[in-house]
Amino acid sequence: MLAKIFKGIWTGINFSRRLVLNILFLLLVILFFVAITGEEDQVKVADGTVLRLNLNGPIVEEKTYVDPVEAAINDATMGNEAPSEILLDDVVEVINQAT
């Protein structure tokens, strides 16, 4: 008799757990599809406007390797005063997207 009661309670708990997890999974799937199919806000730019690039650093084809430990020590002691390198591919991509 007592075993039937505990079995019934356990069945109810297990059903509730599965129901909640299935609902959460379905919400995640719906959220995923909404995020994928959602429209992106496009910036409207008037004709005849100018693209101004603020390139405050050297333009390079490949970033220079920096030892992570050395970079952390330099940031902690001297701060990050060196201008960051700008990848040429990034500049070309921005210009191509602007045209």
* pLDDT tens profile 3-60: 999 999 999 999 999 999 999 999 999 999 998 887 777 778 788 888 889 888 899 9
Report d(CA 45, CA 51) in Å as an integer: 10
Q: Which of 59, 49, 46, 58 is nearest to 89 (CA)?
A: 59
Residues 49 and 97 in one domain: yes
Read off the pTM. 0.48
Q: Which of 59, 54, 50 is nearest to 88 (CA)?
A: 59
Domain of 18 in residue numbering reads as 1-38
Calculate mean pLDDT across residues 74-84: 74
Residue 60, strand partner residues = 87
Residues 12 and 34 in one domain: yes
Number of domains forming the structure of the chain: 2
- N-to-C CA span, the chain: 78
Number of residues that this document lists for the chain: 99
Residues 22 and 64 in one domain: no
Residues 8 and 29 in one domain: yes
Residues 31 and 58 in one domain: no
Residues 53 and 95 in one domain: yes
Residues 55 and 76 in one domain: yes
- The confidence score (pLDDT) of residue 39 equals 76
Report d(CA 18, CA 25) in Å as an integer: 10
Output 65 or 17, whichever has higher pLDDT.
Answer: 17
Place of tokens 């405050």: 56
Residues 65 and 33 in one domain: no
User: Do residues 23 and 52 touch, judged by C-beta distance below 8 A?
Assistant: no
Residues 9 and 32 in one domain: yes
Residue 86, strand partner residues = 59
